[in-house]
Amino acid sequence: MRATDEAFESFQDVDFEQMLETMGRYNEEMIQAGVLLAAEGLDADPGAGVVVDHSAEPPLVTDGPYGETKELFGGFYILDVASKEEAVEWAKRSPITGPGLKTEIRRVATIDEFPQDNEWVQKERAWRESTGQL
């Protein structure tokens, strides 16, 4: 979920309890449909974060999300759906709407898509199995 600085500012006056109620109903729909795997909101203050830039050696750490922001990520959902089209339909139903608000949809690769004879993939698979993730 992405928003421009202006979109973030427009939500400053929205009642937080009402926002929780609205998002809670949306989340409950996805839970009842059996598609919600994870959902997290990011800290509302992007300045509290840091960026680790790996283009230098050693990596350069700076405050805030970026030097100049046009859009900030506000949170994410991970859904287990049958198709990109189904993901689009869920995104269109989001109750958080307005100018400067966007939802980016990307597929999460599964461990099965990586070379299974790779030592590191095998170690990760064993870890996932031991923690009940597979």
Residue 61 inside a domain? The answer is yes
Contact of 37 with 79, CB cutoff 8 Å: yes
% of the chain exceeding 70 in pLDDT: 96
State the average pLDDT over residues 101-124: 93
| Cα distances (Å, whole numbers) of residue 72 to 14, 34, 48 | 18, 28, 13
Residue 131 inside a domain? The answer is no
Q: Say whether pLDDT at 67 is over 60.
A: no
Residue 42's pLDDT band (cuts 50, 70, 90): confident
Q: Say whether pLDDT at 68 is over 70.
A: no
Residue 121 inside a domain? The answer is no
* Domain count within the chain: 1
State the average pLDDT over residues 112-131: 95
Residue 124 inside a domain? The answer is no
Contact of 79 with 30, CB cutoff 8 Å: yes
Write down the mean pLDDT value for the chain: 88
